[in-house]
Structure 1
């Protein structure tokens, strides 16, 4: 057994074998690669990056992340149950343990991600992904696919900013759609979602009974509020804003020129 000393070290790129890695009070980054690895975070906001194996993740204190983006198959993960699994290259189901984890970067395959009582952030990327939030204010980030979003309790967000085409979304009807690269219409489901970060393309966004917040960015966007006190955030384009019921707001702070606006005439220009 050969001993080593590590002073004032924050990031470790470990081996392709079985590693056991424990952090300190800093924001540590651990890369475990292959092997059956064990990760223990300290008091900081730690990140554990792995690509395969029967792994054990314990974030400890702080807002801690697990990055499984390099896995070769989709993952099934439930942070409330502190467990997850995936199929390895031989088709065997491999289990993993997730304690005190708040953020997960999932795979480019079909993932099923369930949160815990914290404010979770899930990145699903490509694939047909399923997201279930827990008791916190959760955020789901996706870039394409036939996805299912269920925010659960809290004020929950879906970020679709990376999509390659505009989205049609109606939170009251719990549904949305977009055109994929082949021109096919892809549908998505939105349950218990309050905030949506839409695309840089032309979006059509309709709220539900909650206090919704919609970010439309570029594009010619259409906003319809529901029964709540809604907020629409935009940066440019020929846009249409209909607040519906409630005390509704439009945020044009990011525009590159001043605006001329007359609410009595229901019109504006820039």
Structure 2
């Protein structure tokens, strides 16, 4: 089940699977994250705090699955000065921005980008730190991502995973806005239960607060709006405005204060 944090995907009919449609969605998604490349409702301060709590070696090997613009992986490289990271994502637009950001920060030589479905990524070595924040839909949800992580995380490694949960019992308006069922998410305690059931123990967690959510959502919708107004003749400008408007309406009238987000630092045991 998709986390719906990048809800752009819900605005395109399921039948629209041609390459052009896919590239259009990827472009709009990349634009939406212009002012908030961390594709989740988390501040940069708390990204750093979470990376610090992973307590990895300065030469750690890092994997970011569904990396988007590699905001997490790049910050990990800045935090661990001898580390190397692999970033995996299907969007060439997001990876292009990741490549540019890595060059700007002097981190390009320690980042390898892979344009492919995260489910198909294969590595001959295990990783000290695996990141999957806001991308668990690529593996069928939280439980599927925990299962997938066994392929990549070293026996003494860390999985840093971000997932949505019901902060309060979902309203009909929230379910409609998210195109979700009540069973699609659990509460926070339920997420911890799922992790422990398959052998992962939480060492730390950060629950995104209302300010982080508001910053993320206003940045998401605002980036699309600004781009559309600045590019009125572009073939996607009307679509960008429509997506921003519908997303904003669903958030403000639907899931604001209902859907929560937590980022967990997990280890085996």
- TM-score normalised over the length of structure 1: 0.24
| Higher share of residues assigned helix | 2
| Higher share of residues assigned strand | 1
| Higher RCO, 1 vs 2 (CA within 8 Å, ≥6 residues apart) | 2
- Bigger radius of gyration, 1 or 2? 1
